C-alpha cells in the first residue's frame, strides 16, 4: 500500500537499536529492587511459544526470533506503552470487529491496526501515511476517503476501516493467503509478486528473505500484537483505559459550519477533548455540507449541542462567539472526570444477557465487558455488574438578554434537568406508610432509566429495576408509569 509505514518509526522507538539484543531488558530481579514498580512475570519462552502457535490466527503462525523480540518489547520493555494501547482497544476494536465481521473478513485482522498506528487515529509517518490504518493520500483517495485541506478521513475510525478492509480483501483475492495479503498491505503487491517469483513459492516464510526488511518483519509484528491482545493478563498488564468522556459518546450530524471553539463554549469541554473525539477535521472546525458531517461528543454533553442546533438557523450566522464563556485548551488539572460520572451496581437476573442490558442502560456492550473484566459474554444470575453513567446531562439555552442572540430567534424552553421538571409525577394516596416513600412517574418519549435517575438521584438503576420488576429484554415504553423513591 505504501513504501514505508509508521511501523519503521514505531519499531525504532519501541524496540531500540537492536530488536534481537535482549541484554538490556529489565530483569525480574532488577525490578524487585524498586518497590514502586510492579513485578513482571518471568518470560517463559516455551510456554509463550505454545500460546503463539495455538492463537488460531488466519495464517501460518510461526514463533521466530523476530516474533519473540516483538513480544518481549510489548510485555517486558515497554509495558506502560502497551497498557495505553490495550486501553485504546475499548474505543476502536468494537468498530473494527463489527465491520470485519460484516465483510466476511477474519476479525483477528484488527490487530494490524496496532502494528500500523499503535491505535493513534492521527499517527503520521515520515513519508505521509496517516491514521489508524496508515493510508498514503493517493491510496486513501482511491479507496474513497475524503482528503482535503479541511477533512482527512484517514483519521476517521469508521471510514478508514472500510478502506482498509477493501484493500485487504483485494489482496486476499489476489493471493488467497492472509499472510501474503498482510505483506502486500504493507509494501504493495508489486514487491510481494517479485518475492514470490524469486523464491518460487507462495509461502510467506519462504519468500520473506526476498522482501524489504520492514515487510519481512511485518507479519511477525502482527503475530506479536495478536499475542499481546490475547495474553496480556498472563504478563500482569492492565489496560490503561481513556476517560469516560471518550468511552461514553454519541454522534450527530451537523450541516452548517461549526468551529471547535464554539463547540467548547456550548459543551464546556476542553479543546483537546473535542479534537481527540473528532480527528477527521483538520482545521478545528466542521465545514458546511449538504450531506452533513458527523460530530462525536461525550453523551453527557450531546444534548447541549442539539439544543444549540435547534435554535441556530442555517440562514443566520451560526458560528459566532458566545461572549463570556471561557474555553480551555486542555482540561484543567483540578478537574476530576469522576465529578461527571457515577458508579452503580446491577445484579444480574434470571434471563439477563449482555446485549439487552447494554440497551437498557444505554451503555456499549464492550464497556460493560471492560469495566467488569468479563472473560466472555456469558452472565450468571446473581452476578454484580459495575456501571458508570453521567451524573448530569448538560443543556444549553439562549435568552433574549444575551446580546449574541440574533433577532427573530426565540429562546428555547430547554433548561438543565431538575427534579420532575420534564415529567409527570403522580402522588399515591396515603393508604400505607410504605407507599408514602414513593412517587409514580410517567416516562416521556425516548426517556431512559438513566435520565429518570438524574431527576431522582435517591434512586439507582438496581432500585428502579427491582421496584418495578423490569425485564431488561422489555424495558418500559413512553407513557408507562414507574415507581421511584422519594428524595
β 384-390/341-347 pair status: antiparallel
Distance in angstroms (rounded) separating the CA atoms of residues 420 and 434: 21
CB 214 within 8 A of CB 186: yes
Rg value, the chain, Cα: 26
Grid cell 426565540 in the structure block, residue: 410
Residue 314 CB neighbour total at 10 angstroms: 10
CB 411 within 8 A of CB 398: yes
Catalytic residues: 116
Q: What 3-state class would DSSP assign to 426?
A: strand
Distance in angstroms (rounded) separating the CA atoms of residues 375 and 174: 36
State how far the alpha carbon of 443 is from the alpha carbons of 117, 359, 436, 448, 451, in Å.
45, 17, 20, 8, 10
CA angle 47, 204, 130 (to 5 degrees): 90
Element (H, E) at 157: helix 157-175
Grid cell 434470571 in the structure block, residue: 350
Distance in angstroms (rounded) separating the CA atoms of residues 298 and 268: 11
Q: How long, in residues, is the chain?
A: 487
- Cβ neighbours of residue 210 under 8 Å, at least 6 residues apart? 194, 195, 198, 199
Helices assigned H by DSSP within 232-330: 244-247, 260-267, 271-277, 299-311
All three cell numbers of 475, joined, read 424495558
- Cβ neighbours of residue 9 under 8 Å, at least 6 residues apart? 125, 126
Helices assigned H by DSSP within 377-427: none
All three cell numbers of 268, joined, read 464546556
How far is residue 283 CA from its own chain's centroid? 22
Distance in angstroms (rounded) separating the CA atoms of residues 281 and 275: 8
What region does 158 belong to: left with phi over 0, alpha with psi -120 to 50, or beta?
Answer: alpha
Amino acid at each position: 500500500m505504501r513504501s514505508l509505514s509508521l511501523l519503521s518509526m514505531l519499531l525504532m522507538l519501541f524496540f531500540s537499536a537492536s530488536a534481537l539484543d535482549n541484554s538490556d531488558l529489565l530483569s525480574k530481579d532488577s525490578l524487585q529492587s524498586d518497590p514502586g514498580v510492579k513485578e513482571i512475570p518471568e518470560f517463559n519462552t516455551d510456554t509463550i511459544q505454545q500460546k503463539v502457535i495455538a492463537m488460531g490466527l488466519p495464517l501460518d503462525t510461526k514463533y521466530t526470533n523476530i516474533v519473540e523480540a516483538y513480544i518481549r518489547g510489548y510485555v517486558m520493555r515497554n509495558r506502560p506503552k502497551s497498557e495505553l494501547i490495550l486501553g485504546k482497544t475499548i474505543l476502536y476494536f468494537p468498530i473494527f470487529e463489527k465491520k470485519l465481521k460484516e465483510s466476511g473478513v477474519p476479525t483477528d485482522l484488527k490487530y494490524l491496526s496496532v502494528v500500523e498506528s499503535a491505535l493513534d487515529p492521527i499517527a503520521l509517518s515520515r513519508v505521509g501515511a496517516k491514521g489508524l490504518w496508515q493510508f498514503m493520500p493517493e491510496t486513501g483517495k482511491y479507496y474513497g476517503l475524503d482528503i482535503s485541506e479541511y477533512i482527512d478521513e484517514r483519521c476517521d475510525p469508521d471510514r478508514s476501516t472500510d478502506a482498509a478492509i477493501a484493500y485487504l480483501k483485494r489482496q486476499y483475492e489476489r493471493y488467497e493467503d492472509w499472510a501474503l495479503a498482510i505483506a502486500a498491505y504493507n509494501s504493495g503487491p508489486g514487491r510481494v509478486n517479485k518475492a514470490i517469483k524469486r523464491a518460487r513459492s507462495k509461502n510467506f516464510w519462504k519468500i520473506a528473505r526476498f522482501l524489504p526488511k520492514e515487510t519481512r518483519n511485518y507479519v511477525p509484528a502482527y503475530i506479536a500484537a495478536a499475542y499481546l491482545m490475547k495474553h496480556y493478563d498472563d504478563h500482569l498488564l492492565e489496560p490503561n483505559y481513556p476517560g469516560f468522556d471518550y468511552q461514553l459518546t454519541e454522534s450527530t450530524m451537523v450541516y452548517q459550519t461549526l468551529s471547535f471553539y464554539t463547540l467548547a463554549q456550548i459543551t464546556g469541554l476542553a479543546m483537546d477533548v473535542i479534537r481527540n473525539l473528532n480527528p477527521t477535521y483538520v482545521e478545528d472546525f466542521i465545514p458546511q455540507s449538504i450531506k452533513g458531517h458527523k460530530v462525536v461528543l461525550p453523551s453527557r454533553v450531546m444534548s447541549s449541542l442539539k439544543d444549540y442546533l435547534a435554535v441556530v438557523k442555517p440562514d443566520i450566522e451560526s458560528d459566532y462567539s458566545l461572549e463570556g464563556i471561557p474555553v480551555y485548551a486542555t482540561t484543567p488539572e483540578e478537574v476530576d472526570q469522576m465529578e461527571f460520572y457515577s458508579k452503580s451496581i446491577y445484579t444480574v437476573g434470571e434471563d439477563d444477557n449482555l446485549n439487552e442490558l447494554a440497551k437498557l442502560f444505554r451503555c456499549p456492550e464492550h464497556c460493560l465487558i471492560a469495566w467488569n473484566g468479563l472473560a466472555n459474554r456469558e452472565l450468571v444470575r446473581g452476578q454484580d455488574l459495575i456501571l458508570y453513567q453521567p451524573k448530569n446531562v448538560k443543556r444549553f439555552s439562549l435568552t433574549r438578554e444575551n446580546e449574541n442572540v440574533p433577532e427573530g430567534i426565540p429562546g428555547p424552553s430547554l433548561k438543565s434537568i431538575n427534579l420532575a421538571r420534564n415529567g409527570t409525577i403522580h402522588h399515591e394516596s396515603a393508604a400505607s406508610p410504605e407507599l408514602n416513600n414513593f412517587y409514580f412517574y410517567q416516562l416521556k418519549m425516548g426517556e431512559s432509566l438513566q435520565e429518570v435517575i438524574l431527576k431522582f438521584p435517591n434512586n439507582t438503576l438496581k432500585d428502579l429495576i427491582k421496584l418495578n420488576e423490569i425485564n431488561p429484554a422489555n424495558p418500559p415504553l413512553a407513557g408507562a408509569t414507574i415507581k421511584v423513591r422519594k428524595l
